[in-house]
Amino acid sequence: MRRVFTVSAVSGIFLGLLIGMGSTSWAQGRARGRFYNKTDVSRIIKRLEDNTDSFKSYIDSEIDKTRLDKTPAEDRIWDRVRALESATDRLRSRFDRTDTWRETRNEVLEVVQEGKRIEQLFERYQIYRRVFARWAGVRRDINTLAGVYEIPPIR
């Protein structure tokens, strides 16, 4: 009788651990063959925020040195850069309020869409190489997030 109780108790503990591990891996999530936890995704978002802020400051000074200065094209670029920054801020705000990173998929989709709009403007206005090089870092971070959330990246 004692042996049956011990085996039952050990089996129950083992089953509880298996269930607990399953819910932990679900909370972490798997994308592109890699497990991500909330801390991993938070680091990617932080890097995107930093690079977006740096890009915004850089473009502020650089666009004034181009033929686009004081034109409607400059206004359109600024509108898109501000929209990207706002989308990134909304992503961070929502991300910080959720239990799992997967809950912010729609916000990441919005960031990717804003990134695509900026990319289109840059192609349309043939943005200078220096500005485009700075944009490449932001684009890389957006595409990294897109990969984590299994969203099509900026091409």
The reply to whether 82 falls in a domain is yes
CATH number of the domain where residue 116 is located: 1.20.120
* Euclidean distance between CA atoms 114 and 95, whole angstroms: 18
Residue 43 located in a structural domain? yes
So what's the pLDDT on residue 8? 58
Q: What is the pLDDT of residues 33-76, one digit of tens each?
A: 578 899 999 999 999 999 999 999 888 888 777 787 788 988 88
101 part of a folded domain: yes
Residue 154 in any domain: the answer is: no
Write out the DSSP string of 1-16. -HHHHHHHHHHHHHHH
Per the structure, the count of domains in the chain is 1
Residue 29 DSSP label: -
Contact present, 121 and 80 (Cβ < 8 Å)? yes
Q: Is residue 122 a part of any domain in this protein?
A: yes
- Residue 74 sits at the vertex; the CA angle it makes with 84 and 114, to the nearest 5 degrees, is 20
- The per-residue pLDDT for 68 is 76
**Is 80 exceeded by the pLDDT of residue 127?**
no
Domain hosting residue 107, numbered range: 36-148
Q: Say if residue 16's pLDDT is above 60.
A: no
**Higher per-residue confidence, 12 vs 135:** 135
Helices 105-125, 129-148: crossing angle, 10 deg rounding: 160
Query: Which amino acid type is present at position 64?
Result: D
Q: Rank 9-13, 33-37, 136-140 by mean pLDDT and report only the highest.
A: 136-140
Predicted TM-score (pTM) of the model is 0.76
Does residue 16 fall inside a structural domain? no
Task: Tell me what pLDDT residue 69 has.
Answer: 77
pLDDT, greater one: 106 or 23: 106
Confirm whether 4 is domain-assigned.
Answer: no
Task: Tell me whether residue 23 is in a domain.
Answer: no
